[in-house]
Amino acid sequence: MKIISLLLVCFLVFLTARAGMAADVPTPTEPPSGVMMISAVDAKQLIEMNSVQVFDMRKALNFGKGHIPGATSLPYKWTKKGHPSQREGTFDMSKLPTDKNTKVLFHSDGPTGWKSYYASKAAHEAGYNNVMWMRDGYSTWTERGYAIEP
């Protein structure tokens, strides 16, 4: 009986470790086709010039704790779980500008935030011509000490 209990505990620890590893898988170092990857520094300049619409793909709860000034909360919801590179999800594309030439910037938590990667890819596939992906994400934005809104 003790052996079965020990094996069960080991199996549960293994599953928990794998779930944590999947969440920490870095996003690709290259943007999706047709999408421009920009740094937090470049994003800050575009935001200060008021020449881009920023979309925060994190959960609404995280957005409420703090976000990039002027950003719109647009939570990306996973519809297919698994390894981050094979997941699928969705978001409310009706919140994107009607003018598909508008500069749109997507971000999520940081280099392990796949939501913004997939959102930028979906926007480009929907016909948006000036799609940007800030791979650095919110974590780098705050690490640099840039302004946030509550």
- Going from the N-terminus, what domains does the chain have, and what CATH number goes with each? 2-143 (3.40.250.10)
CA torsion through residues 118, 78, 40, 24, sign = negative
pLDDT value at position 17?
A: 42
pLDDT digits (tens, 9 = 90+) for 81-122: 888 888 899 999 999 999 999 999 999 999 988 999 999 999
SS3 10: helix
Nearest to 41 by CA among 135, 150, 149: 135
Query: How many C-beta neighbours within 10 Å does residue 148 have?
Result: 14
> What's the token pair of residue 124?
């480009």
9: tokens are: 């505990």
Instruction: Tell me the pLDDT of the chain averaged across its residues.
Output: 88
In the structure encoding, which two tokens stand for residue 3, read together? 């052996």
Higher pLDDT, 102 or 30: 102
Is the model more confident about 8 or about 27?
27
Q: What average pLDDT does this structure show over 120-132?
A: 98
Tokens of 87: 């997941």
Tokens found for residue 61: 């709860």
